[in-house]
A and B are shown apart, each in its own frame.
Chain A
Amino acid sequence: MNSTLAILAILDGISYAALVFLVSVGLSLIFGVLRVVNVAHGSLYAFGAYLAATFSLAIAPISPWLTYPALLAASIVIGVVCGGFIERFLLRPLSGQEDVLQLLITFAAFMIMDNLQRLIWGVQPIFAAEPLRLLPNIAVFGVSYTSYQVILLPGVALATLFGLRYFLRRTLSGAVILAVTEDREASTAIGIDAKRVYFVTFVIGASLAALGGALASPTTSLVPGMGADMIVLSFAVAATAGLGQIEGTALTALMIGLTRAFVIYLQPEFEVLVPYLLMVLVLLVRPFGLFGAVQVRKI
């Protein structure tokens, strides 16, 4: 592998890791607080991507620069509407019942959303690359790369990481979420409305998944099935890190993103296999993930 390909692999890996982190950290946050593995998370990613593309295509003729707020708006709309609906009307009625029911209901939501997606946006690929084209290419060690992927995406991922850290550790809302994560009943006994915390957390997690999809939309063609691919991958990242671990998810996303990128250049037939191989290897040695701990729930 020559140095140009190595730099390309690193840039590809960082860009991909940023998207995977956004989706995985939402999944991890939801699991950390609600103890629900949200199978519909991939659908939220896909809906975020499709709605962002719809908004972008509609607003670009007015001003191409408005496509950036359109990406953000799409994420928030999907997070609040779809995420809010799933938590309030599908998960909350099952509160206190067996965990497997919550897993099954999110699987049902995934199936319904997958079909809704085909119904609303059809099965033909959709392209909405305006936000990608607006930003210039930059040279990294002599290799030209889009600044959207190498600066904007990692920038948003880092802002999300530090923003989440600040939110959880420095604000009252974050403290309340941490308290409910640790002990729902003890939280209620000091006046915390755990149901509201669950709702807000789910909406934040869903918005992060949709943000990942929205930011990915200019870089790829949108096709049915993209949500299924992402839920499997983001689950692999979250499980490898240890479910509920925010910083660990960031490092694991970077590790898996870089490994995958190098494999694509060196042995492309193993691209799909690598993240899951890493997950299996890690879980065999550390069943609670690289950064997870026994009986300790962290977010």
Chain B
Amino acid sequence: MTAMLDFENVNVAIADAPVLRSVSFSLPPGATAALIGRNGAGKTTTVRTIMGFTKASGTVRLSGQDLGHVPPHRRPFLGIGYAPEDRRLFSAFTVEENILLPGRVAKLGADEARRRLERTYSVLPELKELADRPAGSVSGGQGKMVALGRALMLGTRLVILDEPFQGLAPVLAQRYAEALRRLRSQDRDITLLITESNPKLLETFADVTLTIERGEIESRVLA
């Protein structure tokens, strides 16, 4: 079976300092993968490389397609959704406008956009109540939910969540984990890649655990 995500000997250097060293791993379709590592280990660089935000050597493939030939702004249209670590919502818009914007950019039809919005609300029901709130006025935890909702709009094959639990109060972290379980139960085929520094948070949830240390994948564990 073709892997959903495939890293082959990927190297990234920032200001001549190596950040990723010969990183290779594969994720099958439908996997829930945890990328575990300490701060500065290379987790965010790994996911930013998938999105095309770093200058990388080696090969990154999505369903066999070499992403090296796909400009960064075209990658979301391949079905990749990305929720960055620091949320990065657009404060000029409401919560719902933030969620819908990727669909408008991708020129989804009205029916398809509505269907995906309903899917997002079914995974994250609390966002429905926040729909008309300015995105700049939501709390940090709510902002993480909105970022996930926005990632789901185009993330039909691979959803990348960069440290989603960082800074969340325990109650919100619980709700976020429940949302991910709802997503997984509703969509068996979607591949999730979640970075985290605390391995315990994802141990019951992930079926693939990758440990990264100093830019190298140290271990792969299949649950």
Contact = CB atoms under 8 A, between A and B. Distances in A.
A190 B53 contact: no
A172 B102 CA distance: 11
B84 A191 contact: no
B205 interface: no
B93 interface: yes
Interface string A161-204: 00000000000100110110111011011111110000000000
Given A190-B154, A191-B76, A192-B73, A183 B105 contact: no
A193 B73 contact: yes
B90 interface: yes
A263 B82 CA distance: 56
Contacts of A178: 90, 92-93
A172 B97 CA distance: 11
B51 A182 contact: no
Of the listed residues A176, A183, A188, the one surrounded by the most CB atoms of chain B closer than 10 A to its CB is A188
Contacts of B82: 189
B154 A191 contact: yes
B102 A190 contact: yes
A189 B78 CA distance: 12
Nearest to A169: B92
A185 B53 contact: yes
B73 A194 contact: yes
Q: Please tell me the size bucket of the interface on B.
A: 20 to 34
A277 B19 CA distance: 51
Nearest to B83: A189
B84 A189 contact: yes
Q: Please tell me the size bucket of the interface on A.
A: 10 to 19
Given A172-B105, A190-B150, A182 B91 contact: yes
Given A179-B90, A182-B92, A183-B90, A190 B101 contact: yes
B106 interface: yes
B90 to A, nearest CB: 5
B98 to A, nearest CB: 9
Interface string B50-64: 011100000000000
B131 to A, nearest CB: 16
B154 A186 contact: no
A179 B92 CA distance: 8
B72 A190 contact: no
Contacts of A189: 51, 72, 76, 82, 84
Contacts of B153: 190
A196 to B, nearest CB: 9
Contacts of B92: 178-179, 181-182, 298
Of the listed residues A181, A182, A191, the one surrounded by the most CB atoms of chain B closer than 10 A to its CB is A191
Given A175-B93, A185-B53, A190 B105 contact: yes
B121 interface: no
Interface string B89-130: 111110001000110111000000000000000000000000
A191 B90 contact: no
A185 B93 CA distance: 17
A277 B163 CA distance: 50
A181 B101 CA distance: 15
Contact of B102 (A181, A185, A191, A193): A191
13 contacts: A175-B93, A178-B90, A178-B92, A179-B92, A182-B90, A186-B88, A189-B82, A190-B76, A190-B101, A190-B150, A191-B102, A191-B105, A191-B106
Interface of A: 172, 175-176, 178-179, 181-183, 185-186, 188-194, 298
Interface of B: 51-53, 71-74, 76-77, 82, 84, 88-93, 97, 101-102, 104-106, 150, 153-154
Q: 5 shortest A-B CB distances, which residue pairs?
A: A190-B102, A186-B88, A191-B76, A191-B105, A193-B73
Given A179-B101, A188-B51, 17 more contacts: A179-B90, A179-B93, A181-B92, A182-B91, A182-B92, A186-B88, A186-B89, A186-B90, A188-B73, A189-B84, A190-B154, A191-B74, A191-B76, A191-B105, A191-B106, A192-B73, A194-B73
